[in-house]
Structure 1
Amino acid sequence: MTIENKLKNLILQQYSSIREFTITNNIPYSTLNSIFTRGINKATLSNVLKICDALHISADALANGTIEYITNNEPIKKEIETHEVNDILARTKKQLLTDHALMFNGKPADEESIQSILDAMEIGMEIARRKSEKK
């Protein structure tokens, strides 16, 4: 995964959208989009510092292709982890199907309730997939 994708994922972890991040931090959307497409190394120093300050990450680390949090002006060596929604849902599905002590509304969950939950997850994923394809 590129540093630009990691940066984008970090923004989306902390803000509801890229647009919200740009508005909140007074960074033109087109500038941030250009950074994502052209690369962080082509960005101006002032824009990189603005982004890093807003996200509490090290500009030096970002320039070297990693993301490190900063607290009290001290870098924290922690690479940002990303997670694929499909993987999370697969693990959740497996747990729902194998947990024999599963409760639903305070009562033992029956197969029909579990299947309804799994069906709703699949429908939700399909809706998200279709919306994503339209972008």
Structure 2
Amino acid sequence: MALWVTSGQRRRWRHRRRDAPLVGYQELCRELSVSGPGTFGELDSTGARSVLRRFSDAWFAAAKRRKAGDVLARFPRWRRGVPVRWYHGTFTLDGARVRIPTARGTPPLWVRLGRTLPYPVEQVRSVTLLCEGGRLFLE
């Protein structure tokens, strides 16, 4: 008997029961808290909520476009490589490195910057981690 249920399994169960899809940010956050650790790999709750916010915003934007008559508008799909944002106070800048928090029990992620910041460290309000072409980028 499996004691661990993945978020993919939960989605499939909801689909089979013909439940309404979870698309609102608060609903998705409730599902995240029920799913427990490991749902988003080594992402901390702040990073996971960032992914949920982007998914929810994209879903409602597609729904609005479809309601306006755009038949080419597509709803977002769960995929890898979604940009993740952390705001001031949740990350640490240390010289040419950025410390990004991870899930409890996992080591923090240190990202080395390819160049120095063109402005003072105090002006950095958020960082966004992107994965393009198999490489990590900070914005």
TM-score by length of 1: 0.29
TM-score of the aligned structures, taking structure 2 as reference length: 0.29
- Which of the pair is proportionally richer in helix? 1
- Of the two structures, which has the highest relative contact order with CA contacts closer than 8 Å and spacing of 6 or more? 2
The structure that has the greater radius of gyration is: 1
